[in-house]
Structure 1
Amino acid sequence: MNANWLVTPFFFDERDERLKEAVPLPLSYTTNDSEGVVDRTPESLSKVHRPIADFVCSVVKQSRVPVSIAGDCAASLPVMAGLQRAGLEPILVWLDAHGDFNTLETSPSGFLGGMPLAMMVGRGDLLIAQKSGQTPVLEEDVWLIGARDLDPFEEVALGSSQINRRSLDSLDELVFDRQVYLHVDNDIIDAEDVPANNYPVPNAPVSLRPSKNA
């Protein structure tokens, strides 16, 4: 795969240099060393998001594949912004144990990390998406795969949306007629296998542990 890798060593406004370890050796990568990210306001986060959008757009225009590694799902918004700026309208395949489909009105905690997919399709407060240049994706172009930990009102919102939902074991059955943006949150893997994850979720269909029958 002719890919260019970008590592954004942030969990929102908090630096996390360990994210660089996610790039397989001996591949090289570019680091998004943004400065001035002091809080989680749209203006502050835009300082770390705009370089992601620029990177993605540039790589796509070189007919290569952009791979973005970041510590939170809000960083998916500038990835889509970069794809859109490069002239693409991709299908979004979102692998996540959570729905990330909350808004301020539905979220029991108000946690920003539970809202990016809703923002992606134009729901809720869109300032973070707009700051990176991302425009709403059609709900019917989104496939939420493997979500198993949803808040009550988030479940209602998803149920009334046009988001496509599938289990992880049906992923290989999906066939699309245009480019795909694949978003992967590592909590799709079972909680026992990703203890360093901030929000691990048990009972995953994917486990990294050896089979007892192996």
Structure 2
Amino acid sequence: MTITLVPYHQDERLPDSSFPLPGPDFIPVTRELPESGIWERLAALFELVSAEVADQVTGGTRPSVVSGDCLVAEAVLAGVQRAGVDASIVWFDAHGDVHSPESSTSGYLGGMPLRQIIGDHPELLTGPLGLRPLPEERAVLVDARDLDPAEAEFLAASKVRRCPVDDVALPDGPLVLHVDVDVIDESDLPGLKYPVGNGPSYDDVLASVRRIMATGRVAALDIACPWHLPEGDDNTVRARLLSDLLTA
């Protein structure tokens, strides 16, 4: 198993110890980022991710990408498309990630990637990456339970499918499976940057991921780890989670 590690939260380089991977066999994607705006910096980094994903898919390998936030999923999908695979996306996340720059009150970029994948503001990131936006009905949002009012309003009027982890309605054809680990209830996974309660357990999320992987239709797996290491924690739970997801 070869893992592509993108050790960043947005354009912030994170220590490799933030990602306790199950073995030494991983491809790190790093680069000196340009002195420019945040979207240009992300596009420069993500171009390398897309190229690596495309190479792996073309070579007959299913990429597994691990990073510090959800924005990397845009690069993963772009890379799958470059390899000639027309994939839909299944998005596990406690949050909606369907803000636009106009609707976000915080300006947090990690709250925007799914909205961009279905066509919002292509000039920011999807356009530079060459990502073809997906029709809304080809995006599945799993267990998003912490929605801002603007996100709830957008989703209510959209064709994005919403599902719980125990009953995921998959689109036809190939899939990019994106798992933000904060979909897991905060009581089961300490140290999350944006923890949310009243969610599915670690075991329930893993079982759902395994069911999707068992279809044989997952063209790429993308895992976002927006977490930090609490004082006195030995990273055991995080290491077990990454191992379980990557071998699912």
By the TM > 0.5 criterion, same fold? yes
1:180 alignment counterpart: 175
2:14 alignment counterpart: 16
- Letter of the structure 2 residue corresponding to residue 97 of structure 1: A
Percent of residue pairs identical: 35
2:97 alignment counterpart: 100
Cα distance per residue 1:16-60 (max 9 Å; x no partner): 124663422x35110012212667622111121011100110000
Distance 1:168 1:81 in 2: 25
1:58 alignment counterpart: 55
The one of the two structures with greater contact order (alpha-carbon pairs below 8 A, sep at least 6) is 2
Cα distance per residue 1:46-94 (max 9 Å; x no partner): 1210111001100000111001111111111110110111111112100
1:90–1:181 CA contact under 8 A, matched in 2:
yes
Distance 1:175 1:27 in 2: 33
- Letter of the structure 1 residue corresponding to residue 189 of structure 2: V
- Letter of the structure 2 residue corresponding to residue 57 of structure 1: A
- Letter of the structure 2 residue corresponding to residue 13 of structure 1: D
Distance 1:158 1:207 in 2: 26
- Letter of the structure 2 residue corresponding to residue 153 of structure 1: A
What stretches of structure 1 of length at least 5 have no aligned partner?
Answer: 209-214
Distance 1:97 1:19 in 2: 24
What stretches of structure 2 of length at least 5 have no aligned partner?
Answer: 204-248
Distance 1:102 1:89 in 2: 24
- The answer to whether 1:189 aligns with 2:184 is yes
Distance 1:132 1:92 in 2: 17
2:160 alignment counterpart: 163
TM-score by length of 2: 0.76
Distance 2:122 2:174 in 1: 27
Cα distance per residue 1:107-163 (max 9 Å; x no partner): 121211100000000124641222222121111111101100000011010111110
**Distance change >3 Å, CA 39–CA 18, structure 1 → 2:** farther
- The answer to whether 1:154 aligns with 2:144 is no
1:89-168 map, 5 Å? 89-124=86-121, 126-168=123-165
- The answer to whether 1:199 aligns with 2:185 is no
Q: Give the alignment's Cα RMSD to 1 decimal.
A: 2.0
1:211 alignment counterpart: none
2:187 match: secondary structure: helix
Distance 2:72 2:34 in 1: 13
Distance 1:19 1:189 in 2: 21
> Of residues 59, 64, 67 in structure 2, which corresponds to 1:67?
64
- Letter of the structure 2 residue corresponding to residue 68 of structure 1: V
**Distance change >3 Å, CA 54–CA 168, structure 1 → 2:** same
- Letter of the structure 2 residue corresponding to residue 75 of structure 1: V
**Distance change >3 Å, CA 39–CA 111, structure 1 → 2:** farther
1:36–1:47 CA contact under 8 A, matched in 2:
yes
2:63 match: secondary structure: strand
Distance 2:17 2:114 in 1: 22
1:127 match: secondary structure: coil
TM-score by length of 1: 0.88
